[in-house]
Structure 1
Amino acid sequence: MPRKNQISPEESQLFRELVADTSPLVQDKKWHHSTPVAAKTKAKARLPAKEQALFYFSDQYEGYVSTDGAQSYTAPEEDALLTRALKRGQIQPQVTLDLHGMTQQQAKLELTSLLHWCELQQLHCACIVHGKGLGILARKVPNWLIQHPNVRAFHTAPRSWGRDGALLVLLRLAKGSVAAKDSDNPA
């Protein structure tokens, strides 16, 4: 008596007769292999610096949810008093970016350019005017900002800088710079 998992000689012969005139399938699908991390890093290094920063911004990421009124965020490793200083206008922006009339893609590219430029110029505070309008950029800009490693904090701008239509953003500067030492004390 054959075991439960064994095929009898009759079943084996029947199978051979059924598949006798068949041919193997041709592989018509592309094999998808994950790109090794080292290859991704090399590809990123070949891009211009402005486009490298786009790697930080994902449109699908929805990590920031605005509460009623003011938009406020402090990076986990930063002091919560930074947003208070931004709210009170104790830290003045050194540059302003106006995103009015731009598409999401244009706004993301301009924001990337601004953050990169601020890093090169050693500027620690920027005002980003996104406007009110339909609120699309008002929702996207905070989500983009919290993904960037150089963003320390942001808060809805004071009235003189645009109130609900703008954000003041505090940026991390490279260690050892004069501006970085000055910005460590927000008040």
Structure 2
Amino acid sequence: MTDDDNLFSDLMKGIKPLSQDKHHHPKEAKVKRRLEENQQRQQADHYFSDEFQPAMPDNGPTRYVREGADPFELKKLRRGDYAPELMLDLHGYRAQEARFELIALIDECKKHHIDCACIMHGIGSGVLKQQIPAWLSQHPDVVAYHQAPLEYGGDGSLLVLVDIDHGPEFFGRR
């Protein structure tokens, strides 16, 4: 033994080793998160139908304005007058997962008083590119959407205008 080992042994005389009593505590179920997920599923099933296909324009960019809303809001979206404050990237999501994310996005917009959000669905096989506009047009809080400018994703993205209860006059409703 070296001097260091002897010194260490002398220092540790009379020290009792700690007993290892292993207790594994299972993680508590995240009840609040599960409730939110269930609520989003119920809302998605309530608002979105996969069979519903709205009448979309055949030519030009993807666009929609809610009945009774000011059509000028669509033009403002196209021009970039609204800058998105939230971005939702759905690349790689399956359709069912994307539905829940859309509900969560609209809820977050309303909770944080955000008028405009950007949804990046990509082009890929075209499933989300077709389905997302159909779902958005069914949601009562979506005022309008338009294909995003190139700076926000162009053909693979939508700018969405959300009604966050400004009042009846804000988006041209009467």
- Specify which of 123, 137, 159 is matched with residue 146 of structure 1: 137
Contact 2:66 2:143 in 1 (8 A): yes
Displacement, 1:119? Answer: 1.1
Alignment of 1:21-60 (within 5 A): 48-54=38-44, 55-60=46-51
Encode CA deviations 1:79-104: one digit per residue, 9 max, x unaligned: 10111001010110010000000110
Displacement, 1:184? Answer: 5.2
Runs of 5+ unmatched residues, structure 2: 1-36
- Specify which of 59, 63, 76 is matched with residue 68 of structure 1: 59
Encode CA deviations 1:52-74: one digit per residue, 9 max, x unaligned: 42110011111143522301110
CA distance in structure 2 between the aligned counterparts of 1:48 and 1:134, rounded to whole angstroms: 29
Runs of 5+ unmatched residues, structure 1: 1-46
Contact 1:100 1:131 in 2 (8 A): yes
CA distance in structure 1 between the aligned counterparts of 2:69 and 2:129, rounded to whole angstroms: 23
Contact 1:64 1:146 in 2 (8 A): no
**SS of residue matched to 1:153:** strand
CA distance in structure 1 between the aligned counterparts of 2:112 and 2:59, rounded to whole angstroms: 34
Q: Tell me which residue corresponds to 2:78.
A: 87
CA distance in structure 1 between the aligned counterparts of 2:171 and 2:67, rounded to whole angstroms: 16
Q: Tell me which residue corresponds to 2:153.
A: 162
**What is the identity, as a one-letter code, of the residue corresponding to 2:40?**
K
Percent of pairs identical after alignment? 38
Contact 2:56 2:64 in 1 (8 A): no
